[in-house]
Amino acid sequence: MDDVVVVGAGPAGNNAALILAKNGFQVRVFDSRTEIGNKLCTGIIGNECASRFPISESLVYSEPKSAKLITPDNDSLEFHVAFPQAKIVDRVSYVNSFAEKAIAEGAQYHLGESVLDLEPYECSVLVKTEQSQYETRAVVIAAGFSTNLTQKVGLGRVSDYVTAVQAEVKTSIAEQTEVYLGQDIAPGFFGWVVPQRSGRSLVGILARSRPQQYMDRFLDKLDRQGSIADITKPPAKWGIPLRPLKDTVADRILIVGDSAGQVKPTTGGGIYYSLASSEIAADVLKKALIKGDLSNIYLQEYQRRWKELLSQELETGYAARRMYEYLGDGQVSSLARQAYKSSFIREVLNSPKGSFDWHGQTIQTFLNNPISRGILGLVNPLLATFARTPGLEDDLVRPTTGYVN
């Protein structure tokens, strides 16, 4: 019998496997994909993430000091930082590096083998795959947003999400990250162009509905303005959770990463939060395995600790995300220009303590600005009230949700 089966070889799954294998436990990892780390992603990680979970310099494409924000009325606002707050990296190789270390510590990987079902029993969990079945003392579900395993173990699935579409393109002029706003680009969200290496960039959008239609429109816009020479990898899409699962623990089972909704609602980025949460999961599971207590009650320590770390950030980010979705193009352009002129924003951007990964304090300070509240009040007085009064998010009408195929 294995000690732990990890479902999913993404950042969360690989890091959990590495820590547990390093502590002498018998770990087996399953992933339906044949290549580790090949999830669609811009590959941007914050400095805190890179410091806490080190990355080889050979995998770092760049450390940007500027980015462009293109408003709905086509203003191009260029933001500069004195100290780079993030790195653009080879995401596939970075995620794979955790798996390589886990394998070196004795973890066994089964790539191209999907886990179809989990059957918890009093003393073990039966893991059923396409090829076989395995018995284990505990399971870590880190299989991404699309997994149905969280439902099969009675923990449901995230209540809100967005669809991302991304393509790789050949470019000749993209030298910095560009973020595009507007109803024609990505209603309530944004589009991006992120330079990689060798004259290539990642282009994508987030959308609640008709994601492919908005992606086609965005690519056409970039083509017309001469930003794209060729599409080197066609558009592909995936789901990103915007809300965490209410419960991420069951008897002998922990949910981690995108499967648990541990993702920044503001940008959809989840690498750092997944890695940090998987570290907590592995620590709690290590103690549980040694003690021989894998009950829901004992494993609740994992849920308590990751929520202490992330809950405030997730709630603030989601509230800001919800408010942004109410805004029209005129209000978005006004807020963008307000941010551009804001001395506070400049201080944050130019502070060595500025963070790519923690947005809550910046959001609250910006929303408390009288001009920001005034712009929100033009849309809906409740938004202006909420901007200065944390904790009222349930008074806002929830955007329509539903799973996009």
The string of DSSP codes covering 333-353 is: HHHHHHHHH-HHHHHHHT-TT
Nearest CA-CA partner of 236 in 168, 179, 183: 168
Percentage of the chain lying above the pLDDT 70 cut: 86
What CATH number does the domain containing 235 carry? 3.30.9.10
Nearest CA-CA partner of 150 in 279, 33, 249, 10: 249
Q: How far apart are CA 208 and CA 404, in angstroms?
A: 8
pTM of this prediction? 0.89
Above 70 in pLDDT, residue 276? yes
For residue 66, being part of any structural domain is answered with: no
Nearest CA-CA partner of 317 in 222, 256, 209, 244: 244
Average pLDDT in the 185-194 region? Answer: 96
8 and 114 assigned to the same domain: yes
Higher pLDDT, 166 or 379: 166
Average pLDDT in the 345-356 region? Answer: 68
For residue 54, being part of any structural domain is answered with: no
Average pLDDT in the 178-198 region? Answer: 94
pLDDT at position 148: 95
For residue 47, being part of any structural domain is answered with: no
307 and 319 assigned to the same domain: no
- Residue 71 · residue 332 · CB < 8 Å: yes
What CATH number does the domain containing 102 carry? 3.50.50.60
Confidence of residue 371 (pLDDT cuts 50, 70, 90): low
128 and 276 assigned to the same domain: yes
pLDDT at position 112: 95
235 and 98 assigned to the same domain: no
Which residue, of 272, 291, 311, is where some domain finishes? Answer: 311
135 and 115 assigned to the same domain: yes
Q: How far apart are CA 68 and CA 50, in angstroms?
A: 23
For residue 403, being part of any structural domain is answered with: no
254 and 356 assigned to the same domain: no
20 and 123 assigned to the same domain: yes
Compute CA 43 distance to the chain's CA centroid, rounded to the nearest angstrom.
Answer: 11
144 and 202 assigned to the same domain: no
pLDDT at position 72: 96
User: Residue 117 has which token pair?
Assistant: 């079902």
Above 80 in pLDDT, residue 141? yes
148 and 185 assigned to the same domain: no
Work out how many domains the chain is built from and give that number: 3
User: Residue 152 has which token pair?
Assistant: 């099969």
Confidence of residue 153 (pLDDT cuts 50, 70, 90): very high
Identity at 323, one-letter amino acid code: M
Q: How far apart are CA 253 and CA 288, in angstroms?
A: 11
Above 60 in pLDDT, residue 389? no
pLDDT digits (tens, 9 = 90+) for 1-49: 999 999 999 999 999 999 999 999 999 999 999 888 777 788 999 999 9
Compute CA 214 distance to the chain's CA centroid, rounded to the nearest angstrom.
Answer: 21
What mean pLDDT, rounded, does the chain reach? 88
Above 70 in pLDDT, residue 399? no
Could you tell me the residue range of the domain that residue 383 belongs to?
A: 315-395
User: Residue 393 has which token pair?
Assistant: 């998010």
7 and 137 assigned to the same domain: yes
